[in-house]
Chain A
Amino acid sequence: MSESALTAPAPRAPEHSGHDSTLQHHFATHEQQFDASKIGMWLFLGTEILLFGGLFVGYGLMQAAHSEAFVAAHHHLDKRLGFLNTVVLLVSSWTMVMAVHSASKDRRKATVRYLIATLACAAIFLCVKYFEYGHKFHEGLLPGMYYSHKGDAVPNQFIFFSFYFMMTGLHALHILGGMVAMSWVLRKAVRGEFSSTWYTPVDLVGLYWHLVDLIWIYLFPLLYLIS
């Protein structure tokens, strides 16, 4: 086999070949296979909602019990940075859905471009988060027993930062995971593995990415904007 055959796989032609490599043999049609994959992804997203849901319920209860501490503590957060990150994530959701749309229309170059744009947005988000965390580490605004900020008028602010770091930290891990998954999809897109009959990975990673965006849509007002 020549080297070019290894590096550049032949474009797939599902309609014309007798055996379609993108259709697993236990599915009757592409549509059935796509729907099955999608419902699996949604079940996973359901568990994600419950995972973050536990944190949201805990946040709500602690906020109710120590509301003065929470309100005082949230003034340490920079609303502008939170707003910037919200905009970045919303735009990344748009570039992601455009990548899915492009893949479904056989537009390979557009798919690659939109995936790269989404990855760039994710990287910007994490950079902003890095500076936010750095500022809090410097000020001693840390969770639980590690809280060492001096001169607080209102006690117990460490509870807020326990939730802040747990929720945004878990969310940031999800962003990182999304970037890994997106890089994998990007590689496949560059190699031309997707077609309008099979672009399931783009769609499923897209779903995951929108959920990560959706969770941030709730995190932003709860953490940055409470009063």
Chain B
Amino acid sequence: MSHDTTHAERAHGGPKIYTLVLVALLILTFITVGASYVKLGSGMANVILALGIATVKGSLVGLFFMHLRYDKPLNALVLLVSLFMLGLFLLSCYTDFETRDPLEPARLKAPVAAPAPAAAHGAH
């Protein structure tokens, strides 16, 4: 029943659009889980793919379920500024990563007292 999608519905969202978004979100979830069983080139490629799909899903939720697509842009601005600040935080931490001492947790317990072998090649 395509005539259900009236002009008003396109302007403010509506049951049909919300349901389509839900279906898209579920399909993307299946894809993420499926992709986690496939070994891509490096472990990093899997992480990037998973986070990329998560970002598409997040955008769908934000744009349609949270009405950002239909709202005044001020709300989206608040979200984007928050994400920008988080980006700065992330970026400054990661660019600094190579110059740090190995990140050892404060409390090491008996079975894990051996120095972490992964800390030596923490380039990823």
Contacts and interface: CB of A to CB of B under 8 A. Distances in A.
Interface in A45-61: 45-47, 49-50, 53-54, 56-57, 60-61
B1 interface: no
A8 interface: no
A210 B61 contact: yes
Interface in B87-124: 89-90, 93-94, 97, 102-103, 105, 107, 109, 111-114, 116-119, 122, 124
A207 B74 CA distance: 15
Contacts, number: 169
A68 B30 CA distance: 26
A42 B78 contact: yes
Q: Is the interface of A mostly helix, strand, loop or mixed?
A: helix
Contacts of A90: 22, 25-26, 29
B103 A62 contact: yes
Nearest to B123: A64
Interface residues of A, number: 62
Nearest to A79: B33
Nearest to B24: A90
Contact of B78 (A46, A147, A214): A46
A218 B89 contact: no
Interface stretch (A126-134, A151-159, A165-173, A185-193): A151-159
A38 interface: yes
A66 interface: yes
B109 A46 contact: no
Contact of A94 (B18, B50, B54, B117): B18
Contacts of B43: 67, 71, 226-227
Interface string A84-112: 00110011011011100100000000000
Contact of A214 (B53, B62, B122): B62
Nearest to A150: B111
18 contacts: A42-B78, A49-B82, A49-B86, A50-B89, A57-B93, A61-B94, A65-B122, A69-B116, A90-B25, A101-B13, A101-B18, A147-B112, A155-B114, A207-B66, A220-B32, A224-B36, A225-B32, A226-B43
Interface of B: 13-15, 18-19, 21-22, 25-26, 29, 32-33, 36, 39, 43, 46-47, 50-51, 53-54, 57-58, 61-62, 64-66, 71-72, 74-75, 78-79, 81-83, 85-86, 89-90, 93-94, 97, 102-103, 105, 107, 109, 111-114, 116-119, 122, 124
Given A83-B29, A86-B29, 20 more contacts: A35-B74, A39-B74, A39-B75, A49-B82, A50-B89, A56-B86, A65-B122, A83-B33, A94-B19, A97-B65, A101-B13, A101-B14, A145-B107, A152-B112, A159-B105, A210-B61, A222-B50, A222-B51, A225-B32, A225-B46
Closest 7 CB pairs of A and B: A46-B82, A221-B50, A225-B36, A53-B86, A65-B103, A155-B112, A94-B22
